[in-house]
Structure 1
Amino acid sequence: MIIQLDQKNKEQAKQILHIQLAAYQMEAEQIGYQDLPPLKEIVKDVMDANEIFIGFEKEGSLLGIASYEMHEDRVVLSRLAVHPHGVHQGIGTELMQAIIEHHLPIELTTAEANRPAIRLYEKLGFKQTARLQVENNLMLIKMERSMLRKVEVVEYETSWQEQFHHELDKLKKAVGDNWGDGHHIGSTSIKGMAAKPIIDILLEVKQISKLDECSHLFSELGYEPLGENGLKGRRFFRKGGLQRSHHIHAYEAGHEDVKRHLVFRDYLRAAPGRAKDYADKKRQLAKAHPEDMASYINGKNAIIKEIEQEAFNWSKQLETNNQARE
């Protein structure tokens, strides 16, 4: 059973240290390095630690401990220790799963020679990010577990239009005199269509370079500025972290991608059958890839290209018809 520990309590600090010394002594022997910092700690060091401590208890006995630091955007694992009497019982996994439930990226450092620990972390989704030479006979590796965005497609909500207009008012103030126009795009802009619940906003500004000067105002509204993010001439902002709520696609007025986005939206509004095809495809992909956003996005590429071509042809036909009326 996972329990919360209070390292400020001297008796609990002693229990924590007992587990720690036994576990890290076993690691020291395994990797051939006796100078591990956790082996040098005393009870006062544990009591002074500014970390969150949890433990694994079985039949009243503490068999494993973990401690970590909580940050706004990540968790940093400080220690993970299982008493030699508790190894091979899944205790380390349960302690790590309790930390994973915070739903934040997790960073840690461990000895490169500690293969059992590395296998555990890899099994839980951690990947190596760096190697650090501490001393001639000690190599550490940094590992990180990134949180995957869940793929969620929900039925149309009438509140999406209200959310768009509410956000647009705030964006007008942030952009100021550089403002051109703002449009609701993407699936949430199409009435009756299932979508990921993310409000996509297309901004037109007079000068795209001036938008960089007010990126701090977007940050104050909760947005993360990501520059062009792969598309030349665009400025992209996202809001909500892993629980994404808004995207902003900003272009200079007259950019060809402005028309592309608007024609795609307007065509689906005018062609409910194709909107249904697109929504059905998204539901299918979300069910098949509930935790794999990349596969979900890649799976939509073919139908998006089909609809974009249809939308282009539809738009050209509208222009021709309008010219004929004139």
Structure 2
Amino acid sequence: MIRMIDLHKSDIVTELYLLQRASYLVEAKLINFYEIPPLKETVGELKDCGELFLGYFLDEELAGALSYSINGKELTICRMVVHPNHFRKGIAQLLLKEVEKGNKEMAVLKVSTGKENIPARGLYLKNGFEWVGDIEVVPGLYISNFEKRRVEEQ
């Protein structure tokens, strides 16, 4: 089941913190970069990040989460995390569909991932996002940016 995560509840923030650490460690290995900001974040910083979170729960276990921010008609996916025990179960796909369904008024959806994170790149391309370019954020580390533009109905 997918539901909003309330970052004011310390137990769920701790669970989310542990989930994101497990997930981003896998990405860090894929892209050979261990300074990913969420890996350095404290529980307090996570709680105060200002992002909106959707959680995917298996029974009462948090198995995946997606966070996003909204600026006008633009939605930016900030984090997409799935616990490694639940990879390849379609959880990221379901979270992505849910954020799109709940924000139909957004004209543009944006997301970024490590250039070498092939599974994430494939997920976004499969879901209608277009690759818009790579940016070297530190020497030797490239981030791939994707967008999905929606046509407004007249």
Range of TM-score over shorter length: over 0.9
Residues 202-281 of structure 1: pairs in structure 2 closer than 5 A: 242-244=152-154
Total equivalences in the alignment: 151
Question: Which of the residues 130, 135, 139 maps onto 1:132?
Answer: 135
2:15 aligned residue: 15
Report the Cα offset of residue 145 of structure 1: 0.9
Q: Is residue 141 from structure 1 mapped to residue 141 from structure 2 by the alignment?
A: no
Whole-angstrom distance in 1 between the partners of 2:14 and 2:140: 30
Report the Cα offset of residue 30 of structure 1: 1.6
User: What is the identity, as a one-letter code, of the residue corresponding to 2:133?
Assistant: A
1:83 aligned residue: 83
Whole-angstrom distance in 2 between the partners of 1:132 and 1:83: 27
Kept in 2: contact 1:66–1:95 (CA 8 A):
yes
**TM-score, length-normalised on structure 1?**
0.45
Q: Which has the larger radius of gyration?
A: 1
Whole-angstrom distance in 2 between the partners of 1:30 and 1:111: 8
Q: Which of 1 and 2 has higher RCO (CA within 8 Å, sep 6+)? A: 2
Deviation string 1:74-100 (CA, Å, 9 cap, x unpaired) is: 101110000001100000000000111
What percentage of aligned pairs have identical amino acids?
28
Deviation string 1:179-237 (CA, Å, 9 cap, x unpaired) is: xxxxxxxxxxxxxxxxxxxxxxxxxxxxxxxxxxxxxxxxxxxxxxxxxxxxxxxxxxx
Kept in 2: contact 1:19–1:83 (CA 8 A):
yes
Q: Is residue 27 from structure 1 mapped to residue 30 from structure 2 by the alignment?
A: no
Question: Which of the residues 107, 112, 117 maps onto 2:115?
Answer: 112
Secondary structure at the counterpart of residue 7 of structure 1: coil
**TM-score, length-normalised on structure 2?**
0.94
Report the Cα offset of residue 71 of structure 1: 2.4
Runs of 4+ in 1 over 2 A off after TM superposition: none
Secondary structure at the counterpart of residue 30 of structure 2: helix
2:99 aligned residue: 99
Unpaired runs of at least 5, structure 2 = none
User: Which of the two has greater strand per residue?
Assistant: 2
Deviation string 1:110-151 (CA, Å, 9 cap, x unpaired) is: 11000100000000001111211111221011110111x3xx
1:40 aligned residue: 40
